Structure 1
Amino acid sequence: MRWWRKSLAAQFICFLLMALLISQVIGLLISWDERDKALRAAAKSEFFSRTASLAILLESIPASFHADVLRASGTTYTRFWMSAEDPIDALAWRQQAIAQLEEPLPNLLPAYHKPEVVSAISKNATSGPKFHLFERAIASESWVRLSSDVWSIPRFAKFLPLGASNGMGLAVQLSDGHWLNSVYYKNMPSAHWNTQSLVSLGITAATLALIGVLVARRIARPMRRLAGAAEALGRGQSIEPLPETGPDDIRRTAEAFNRMQSRLTRFVEDRTRMLAAISHDLRTPLTSLRLRAEFVTDTDVQQRMMATIDEIQTMTEAALAFAREEAVTETTRAVDLTALIESLCDDLADLGEDVTFVDSPKIPYSCRPDALRRAVRNLIENAVRYGGEARVQVAETQSSIQILVEDKGPGIAEGDLERVFEPFFRLETSRNRETGGAGLGLSIARATARHHGGDITLLRLDRGLRAIITLPKPDQGA
């Protein structure tokens, strides 16, 4: 079931094999009667032809050779013998036919084996399904004269069916008045699923399975490529346009994805350029306001004006940094994520911050290390600023990688756990840059995590707060 859910090739092959099996069953049901009828018709035709040829041969040779010719003409399923009178009684003739079939052939000894039906009849004349079929056929059927349509020689002949069409008898009157008697009995196999059929079905199934694998891979390969490209684009990575080849449906999908990627890239670039231009243009009026504030004679008013101008300038520069962070120009590369976070904690500890890194397993990961390092640094600095300490750990789950940052501070109210990620939202209302910042640190950190395909969540503890950066494992996107 796991392969059925995850593999297009498995589903495609199963549907092909189901179609093959259904077609074989339907074909078997249709051809069941036709095959049996064809086999019985062929056996009947060959039996008539052999008996007619033997009758002509007996009429052309001396009577002293008849017994040897009759014994030499017998086979495992056929016997021939002569009688002086017309075999009118079908039941008596049947007993004589059984005796003839049970008699071994000298030219087949010692490899001769009695026919299965004859052995069963001779051992127990009242039991066994084959005996009952044979008995009913003799009891309910009588001799039937053969017409010239089915009998090839101008001799009187009559026919007696035996054993539910599995056997038959003939009596042919020769030119000298004697009768040539012949009996044929062979239990026709009704099972169509013989070894040859199973081998043929197995070869056909293997061929279809191989074709199914090739077709499914041809279909799944561009889909996997598209899924990987979409995941990479969602993480903010720069990817090459998909090849626009293959069938029309796949080609149109690749073209639509490439157009979407081009539009998204152009939109982000246009927004970044717009914010950069706004930030640059604001510097001139801010400088003019700062110069005018210098001429204000009231010292208290002047300090308030300068503080407001500084706050506007800080917010402008933070907005520009936020936009540049979302633009993502850093190249993605593989790093040891645990070593990256541990080195950051060591650097902050060397600066006198109370930062502790918990030993974690080595985890290779493809990311933009500088951006991810800044995002984790923002969380650690917030933990130290508001909680007095930070405890950092890297953990790995079945589907993701988590970077945990915990503190022992007062925490955040339940209603503000999501609001703190909004740009320029600050829990600290003094607007002091030293104590509250610009209100973009968590916004930039979450934007970085989401560019990597993950997210940041905050969890209240009994004492303190836990910030969790969740990153998807490399194989989850594909």
Structure 2
Amino acid sequence: MSPVSDPPPPSLLGRLLARFDSLTARTVFVVLLGIGIVHVVSLWTYQISLDREVALSSDARLADRLLAIKRAVMRVPPEEREAVAHDMSGGTVDAHWSRAEHAVAGGPDAARWESLGQRLREVLPELAEEGLVIGANRRGADDPHLALISIRLPDQSWVNIGLVAPPIRSTHAHGALLSTSLMAFGALVVSILLVGWLTRPMSAFAEAAKGFYRTKSVTPLPETGPREVRDLAAAFNDMQRRIASLIDDRTQALAAVSHDLKTPITRLRFRVEDIADSGTRAAIAADLDDMERMIDQTLAYLRGDRAEEEMRSVDVVAILQTITDDFADRGRPIGLGGLPSAVMAGRHLALKRALGNLVENAVKYAGTVDVAVHRDGDRFVVSILDDGPGIAPADVDRAMSPFVRLEPSRNQSTGGFGLGLPIAKAIIEGHGGTLSLLQRSEGGLAVTIVLPEGGPVS
């Protein structure tokens, strides 16, 4: 057989979702992730559009100022134009009048100034009609923050405007950020409340299913809420009634069969006494005992933990003490350690049967058996360790199945009927606990029973 390779490690998304194992948590995570992505994208697009609007507005103001300078200079005589241009200078604009243009297209950061020229021509076509040259300042071409704009006048003279690029001011949308953040938080809160409201019926279904497993009584769910929830509740209630009816019919049929079988078994016991051969008489009596035990164990397995015994406070350590004392009286001493008492809510006879089956299995196959009870939070952990042959990991699931005997012989002193472990498992799980089997590294089997202190849990 080829070795089994280790499963691949879970992905990042798988590990992340493992931390959110409830429907509410996963829905909140998805909603939060979606809101976050939409939030970031909306802020980014808003900032881009805001910056574009600011740039267009700035270009429009610059175009209006250039046009005003041009018109003011061209309306005065040539000898006064330099003075007018000087008077209209200020800030990032330094205007002069001359007979020739000073601007030369290109130069450092030419792409930036060319895009400005295109926007200016779009805003004021009049500038393009009379001539517009934008380029680096001839005397300051090494400074990328300086540009020279030359505008031709009707008499072929030029207004030369030195332009210092203004500092780029980032537009902070603090108000928009706060507003969208509040909207995202509100949507998240509403999502949590909505998911909680939608998943509440699912919790009720889980409670009813677990309660139905522990008891024979059918607890109908209220058929209220949205149409889908009402339909699901109606189907669940109908399923409960059908299953309860099937279980009752099966139990009654098996009880009737048991009664009918025990009657001829009892008659056979009386007739066995008339057999002269003692060996034959003993063999027939042993077969009758096996038949009776098989009937009793089959009924016990099929009933599981659904007995009429009431829940009450029981001491698991006291039950184990009774079991170990019984084996000690038969010459098989068993070590019992751990807590002096472990009181929980449970069914005394059912727990005694389950723990007795597990201890008996250990005694059958091992020379030494140690039992211990410990506390783990609000749970009690019972461990049964033996030095027997153990059970191979591949056979653990089979061992928990009914009527499966891992011991190949038909010797009832060792093999049994294959119902001891299934009965114990059904009773323990009916108490809200778990049963696990593990092969010990030093040899033998480790049986671990975990029982909640409060009894069956939802």
Please, what TM-score do these two structures have when normalized by structure 2? 0.62
Instruction: Provide the C-alpha distance between the structure 2 equivalents of 1:395 and 1:449, rounded to a whole number of angstroms.
Output: 17
Instruction: Provide the C-alpha distance between the structure 2 equivalents of 1:377 and 1:217, rounded to a whole number of angstroms.
Output: 44
1:198/1:46 Cα in 2 relative to 1: closer, same or farther (>3 Å)?
Answer: farther
Instruction: Provide the C-alpha distance between the structure 1 equivalents of 2:172 and 2:344, rounded to a whole number of angstroms.
Output: 56
Cα deviation, residue 276, structure 1: 0.7
Greater C-alpha Rg: 1
Cα deviation, residue 367, structure 1: 5.6
The match for 1:271 among 250, 253, 260 is 250
Aligned partner of 1:342 in structure 2 is: 317
Whether the aligned pair in 2 keeps the contact of 1:235 and 1:450 (CA below 8 Å) is: no
The alignment's C-alpha RMSD in Å is 5.8
Instruction: Provide the C-alpha distance between the structure 1 equivalents of 2:32 and 2:450, rounded to a whole number of angstroms.
Output: 37
**Unaligned ranges ≥5, structure 2:** 1-15, 95-106, 136-148, 150-163
- Map 1:320-335 to 2 at 5 A: 320-330=299-309
- Map 1:216-295 to 2 at 5 A: 216-230=195-209, 240-295=219-274
Per-residue CA deviation, residues 113-154 of structure 1 (Å, 9 max, x unaligned), is xxxx479xxxxxxx999xx969x86xx98xx798xxxxxxxx
Task: Give the letter aligned to residue 278 of structure 1.
Answer: V
Task: Give the letter aligned to residue 203 of structure 1.
Answer: L
1:253/1:368 Cα in 2 relative to 1: closer, same or farther (>3 Å)?
Answer: farther
Aligned partner of 1:172 in structure 2 is: none
| Equivalent position SS for 1:327 | coil
The match for 2:193 among 190, 193, 214 is 214
Cα deviation, residue 206, structure 1: 1.9
Aligned partner of 1:11 in structure 2 is: 30
1:20/1:272 Cα in 2 relative to 1: closer, same or farther (>3 Å)?
Answer: same
Cα deviation, residue 442, structure 1: 2.9
| Equivalent position SS for 2:371 | strand
Whether the aligned pair in 1 keeps the contact of 2:389 and 2:443 (CA below 8 Å) is: yes
Instruction: Provide the C-alpha distance between the structure 1 equivalents of 2:209 and 2:181, rounded to a whole number of angstroms.
Output: 40
Single out whichever of 398-407 and 440-449 deviates more from structure 2: 398-407
- Map 1:174-189 to 2 at 5 A: none
Cα deviation, residue 279, structure 1: 0.6
Instruction: Provide the C-alpha distance between the structure 2 equivalents of 1:193 and 1:237, rounded to a whole number of angstroms.
Output: 67
1:270/1:460 Cα in 2 relative to 1: closer, same or farther (>3 Å)?
Answer: farther
The match for 1:459 among 427, 435, 439 is 439
1:367/1:293 Cα in 2 relative to 1: closer, same or farther (>3 Å)?
Answer: closer
| Equivalent position SS for 1:466 | strand
Instruction: Provide the C-alpha distance between the structure 2 equivalents of 1:3 and 1:461, rounded to a whole number of angstroms.
Output: 32
Whether the aligned pair in 2 keeps the contact of 1:454 and 1:472 (CA below 8 Å) is: no
* 2:294 is aligned with 1:315: yes
1:309/1:186 Cα in 2 relative to 1: closer, same or farther (>3 Å)?
Answer: same
Task: Give the letter aligned to residue 342 of structure 1.
Answer: V
Aligned partner of 1:178 in structure 2 is: none
Single out whichever of 456-465 and 359-368 deviates more from structure 2: 359-368
Instruction: Provide the C-alpha distance between the structure 2 equivalents of 1:94 and 1:369, rounded to a whole number of angstroms.
Output: 108
The match for 2:76 among 82, 85, 91 is 85
Aligned partner of 1:374 in structure 2 is: 353
Whether the aligned pair in 2 keeps the contact of 1:419 and 1:425 (CA below 8 Å) is: yes
The match for 1:97 among 76, 88, 101 is 88
- Map 1:289-304 to 2 at 5 A: 289-296=268-275, 300-304=279-283
Instruction: Provide the C-alpha distance between the structure 2 equivalents of 1:218 and 1:425, rounded to a whole number of angstroms.
Output: 49
Task: Give the letter aligned to residue 294 of structure 2.
Answer: M
Please, what TM-score do these two structures have when normalized by structure 1? 0.59
1:233/1:453 Cα in 2 relative to 1: closer, same or farther (>3 Å)?
Answer: farther
Whether the aligned pair in 2 keeps the contact of 1:13 and 1:212 (CA below 8 Å) is: no
Aligned partner of 2:389 in structure 1 is: 411
Per-residue CA deviation, residues 282-341 of structure 1 (Å, 9 max, x unaligned), is 2332233344444545555444434433332332233222322253555667x7xxx833
Instruction: Provide the C-alpha distance between the structure 2 equivalents of 1:14 and 1:331, rounded to a whole number of angstroms.
Output: 50
Whether the aligned pair in 2 keeps the contact of 1:406 and 1:464 (CA below 8 Å) is: yes
| Equivalent position SS for 1:274 | helix
* 2:406 is aligned with 1:387: no
Task: Give the letter aligned to residue 345 of structure 1.
Answer: L
Aligned partner of 1:199 in structure 2 is: 178
Per-residue CA deviation, residues 241-265 of structure 1 (Å, 9 max, x unaligned), is 4443333444444444444433333
Whether the aligned pair in 2 keeps the contact of 1:268 and 1:327 (CA below 8 Å) is: no
1:295/1:145 Cα in 2 relative to 1: closer, same or farther (>3 Å)?
Answer: closer
Instruction: Provide the C-alpha distance between the structure 2 equivalents of 1:274 and 1:90, rounded to a whole number of angstroms.
Output: 119
Per-residue CA deviation, residues 158-183 of structure 1 (Å, 9 max, x unaligned), is 9x9999xxxx9xxxxxxxxxxxxxxx
Instruction: Provide the C-alpha distance between the structure 2 equivalents of 1:252 and 1:205, rounded to a whole number of angstroms.
Output: 34
Aligned partner of 1:358 in structure 2 is: 337
1:463/1:276 Cα in 2 relative to 1: closer, same or farther (>3 Å)?
Answer: same
Per-residue CA deviation, residues 15-53 of structure 1 (Å, 9 max, x unaligned), is 233334434545655x45874488569979999xxx9xx
